[in-house]
Structure 1
Amino acid sequence: MQNILIIGAGKGGYALLKLIEEADYLQVKAVVDIDENALGMQYAKKQHIPTYTDWKHLLKSDIQIIIDVTGRKEVFLELLSNRPATAVIIPGEIANLIVTLLEEKNKFIQVLDNKNTTQELIFNSVEEGMIGIDENGIVNFFNKSASKMTQVTIEDAIGEHIYNVIAQSELPRVFEAGQTELNKELILESGTKIVTSRYPMINEEGQKIGAFAVFKDITEVVQLAEEITNLTEIQTMLEAIIQSSDDAISVVDEEGKGILINPAYSRITGLKEEEVIGKPATADISDGESIHLKVLQTRKPIRGVNIRVGKEKKDVIVNVAPILVNDRLKGSVGVIHDMTEMRSLMKELDQARTLIRNLEFSFSFEDIVGKSETIQFAINQAKLAASVPVTVLLRGEVGSGKELFAHAIHSASNRKFKQFIRVNCSSQEEHLLERELFGYEDGEVSYPGLFDEANMGTIFLDEVGELTIRTQAKLLRVLRENAIVRVGGTTPVPVDVRLIAASYFNLEKLMREGAFREDFYFQLSRMPIHVPALRERKQDLPDIANHLLVKLNKEFGRNIEGFTKSAMESLLLYDWPGNLRELENVISRAMIFLEAQDRIIEEHHLPKSILSISDEVQEEVQLGTLAEQMDVMEKKVLLNALRVCEGNKSQTAKKLNISLRTLYYKLEKYNLD
């Protein structure tokens, strides 16, 4: 151990003191400076090294090295004449040079450490395994990926012979041969299948100093290849199924051009592949319009359409559905049934069509838009009704959204996976409605009705106020006994059906007039819910309009972004006697007449009938075409008649002296049904 005396504790002495502390074979015996507050003096005191202001009494035989960093020549000469014979004096210039060299050395060491750390991070971050050996086959490099694949820790691998780590390794052979080997397959003892590349390591003098291997786990790649093979087999099998199907199948791409037909299609239409593949979807139509093009436009399936196809103009029934991959339209597939083969299956087809139609329409409470107190109160009541098996009576004006509430209640109930069937109580005669609801018996044959079809599900009776007293009595029995009696039969048939009714009528007035059974009314109205008219919650109109805009954009294939301020003000000023249906009709009509480049609905796009909010606008309406003015007037007459007859469509038709069928046509025309 060499004892050192440092004379001068300024910046140079301080730096020298810190460097000497890092050496195990050097020891600072004392630090001297005339300034006790010098940087080196303060540091020495913290390290419990003796400090002095005079050095003369410290020149003893136990001091081997004296370092003068005062920078004063007279101090150095005095030290030189008084030093012990065994001591070496190092002047300040040399001391500073030593400090500089030591600092540069530390910097280089730090740089090398940083480079090594960076290299280790890189090598340990890559997915490929890496392993290296020296000329004796000893492992000197082993990264984390190699450890993961071989299931050998880095600590257990480094310093071991390669055969102790990977018994079947070829690295020693590659070292001896001095030749590179690329993409060789190998199965490790861990069971991992790898592909490896091996390289000899040769220095600048051409000497072999080791070998290195890079390898990658290909287990997942092999599995993926097997899956691709399976998919190919599945595709081949599907093509074989399509080709062997007795049903004619045609497929078009997103542009409506044919890409696939099967032999059954050629048999029915008489068209060969070269007449269809790559041709427009209308190539096979002889009478009617292409259902493929309709489906591509709406992105919705269309079923049970009668058209004529092929050279012989055969009558067929077509079912077409869109092909959606990750919600992207890729084309459509159509199945064609020859009508000559379908006559015996018409009844089953009608039932299937009814089932599909009911399954397609599914709405939830999220589809009911509005934040006003009136609509939120109705929604909260409906949510409560959905949680308990109680009969619900929905009250509200025509077009206010009663059917939407019925759908939402069903979707939120424990019956949501079963049927939801809507029945328009005003659209059929009494005996036909009862046969449809309860089924009928003809001799020994029994035909089921809608209650059978909706078992464990929900039936929505729309416009229940138009039911006859007799039908009311039969429905009351169903509610009380959970059983039906078929028309023409006598035996009760158990059913489990949730009943939701809706009416625009004043049912209390009908009870007083004897047109509605009191017991049936109280059985229905266990949970009455009032669905507010649009004019009662106009603050919701902007949100509703934008919600409808999203829906209609999808239907029409448009990208309309919103409304101008003046257009929205016009919508808010209108009273909306037709409620939500009328609003949807107005927006859809406006969108139809927009130019392809238009993105905003402006006030002049709206129908003139809703702009009559002042005398000035009234005068502008009078300048419209005769047909437009007559439509406005006819709509007002219909609405007025419906109000007078309290929504009773039969009475409305009689009052207007038109047939019930004509009334329904006109209500549908103006979106008032």
Structure 2
Amino acid sequence: MQNILIVGAGNGGYALLKLIELAEYLQVTAIVDINEEAPGMIYAKEHDIPTFSDWKSLISGDIQIIIDVTGQKAVFQELLANRPATAVVIPGEIANLIVTLVEEKNDYIQIIDRKKMMQELIFNSVEEGMIGIDDLGIVNFFNKSAERMTKISAENAIGKKVRQVISLSELPRTFETGRVELNKELTLESGTKIVTSRYPMINEEGKRVGAIAVFKDITEVLQLAEEITNLTEIQKMLEAIIYSSDDAISVVDEEGKGILINPAYTRITGFSEEEVIGKPATADISEGESIHLKVLQSKKPIRGVNLRVGKQKKDVIVNVAPILVNGNLKGSVGVIHDMTEMRGLMKELDRAKTLIRTLESSFSLEDISGTSEKINFAIDQARLAASVPVTVLLRGEVGAGKDLFAHAIHSESNRSYHPFIRVNCSAMEEHVLERELFGFEESGLSHAGLFEDATNGTIFLDEVGELTKKTQAKLLRVLRENAIIRVGGTSSIPVDVRIIAASSLNLEKAMREGTFREDFYFQLNRMPIHIPALRERKEDIPLIAEHLLVKLNQEFGRNIEGFTEEAMESLLQYDWPGNARELENIISRSMIFLQPNDRFVEEQHLPRSMLVIEDEDDMPDGTLAEQMDEMEKKVLARTLKVCGGNKSQTAKKLQISLRTLYYKLEKYNLV
């Protein structure tokens, strides 16, 4: 691993930093600039890369490469004079040249990949089968139509001798003779009769490098041969092809009025011929612009456009091409691909996400650190709750560890081998949350919800106090009847799921204010457990901090042994409005600034904001407006810290709009 020091964090240093991060064998140990707002400095801080304003203290034998992007000759000369004997100093001009060349290389690779993908798409979209071989007779190309006609997959064909795939193939002879063979009949092992044309492949130097066969079903060729002289029959044949397509096809004239659709079009859009033929091309569009009209204006094909069409607003992909006869525009033809299969894949993805949620790390009550009387009482209650099938309500401030207790109760219960699914009730709108919890039925499709996915397991409803009264009523039914009704459905579905709820809000106050149902509260409050705030059990902080240190050492790849007495005293003195979650954040931030050889977290490594204990009686000086602004700033800063930087949660806690919050944060430079 090569260690790199970047001096200069302007646009050049920023670009270099992003480039070097992509290399596995290079590592930026630090970036230096006197301007803390330089792009590279901001980026480095966001990605936990050490930043400094002076490079002199960083020069050591651990640095192999020093890159100067300051653009100042004096800095470059000074770096040369002070560099270690094993380090090389690279001027910014060379570094910028390297960045430019690498970016150009990546651009060319992307262009090549796109062209390759387009070529494969074209070859796999045509009806004709295609088989290619190299100079040794080995199959190196086998498209989708070839798979369909031969009933052999490309995976089983590519890499084999062509006569192992098609025993009567004459492609090796075509390669040897270099002669083109057209319209040769052949019967495949699958029984399909084809007409094939064979071509030698010759490179720019005139050397034969392989051969390719293009073939199609003989019945289509015979139809074409018989009907080529009769325009009426040709039209019927074309209509038959269009009508047999599983993709929707629509044709409009030069004025953009419909002249032809196939049955697949009616099936996908829901529009009949009477509703489309002779009507403008916009008749079938639910959302978006008519691609037919765009093609008629530009006389150029447009492909891969996402639209919503038809009465049911189906998601489709549209390809439209102009119809040109002797250079004159006669209309356009469009092919519409239904996205049903894509929705099926998305449904499978949703199931995979649900499975991942059920496979989250499990915790036991032994993982909860602390020996204080309050935490031991909470643990004893949790152990009792795990042994009986009762609804549990976890109470406590944000960051106190309610999710850890919920995990532990599930793990110690007889449901531990079944799913544990966490739902953040404050993170989703009402209609989205209900669809997630109860599932839904629409357009003939049924989708199971989390209650069905969690059968025999546990659902953890975090921040249940944020639920609307409508959703509370539906959950009350689940608690009373052990059954759900999917959104849009009518039938009752029995479920066997244990509910563990949690809230940091004052639910009793919410009941008095009419925002929380009393019957729902009493149904939830069968087994209440209060999780004490960290400031109520400060004697546990050393044990929790040591536990977090082990976890963070693994995450950061460090070997920090502990805390100095001064650092631990500061941790004990702080009030911890963000509880254990804030403690973990403070320790992780402190570890970022430790040097590689440091073994202990010292007081100087802790954030300054927690080292200053404010005197609440010490009111600011100034006018009433100035004092109110100062107090508002303190309230905003403290609430933002309590919410872990989450602005949506901060706005909700302060009962102001998100827009107002952003305005005030900018006003007080708290962004």
TM-score (norm 1): 0.45
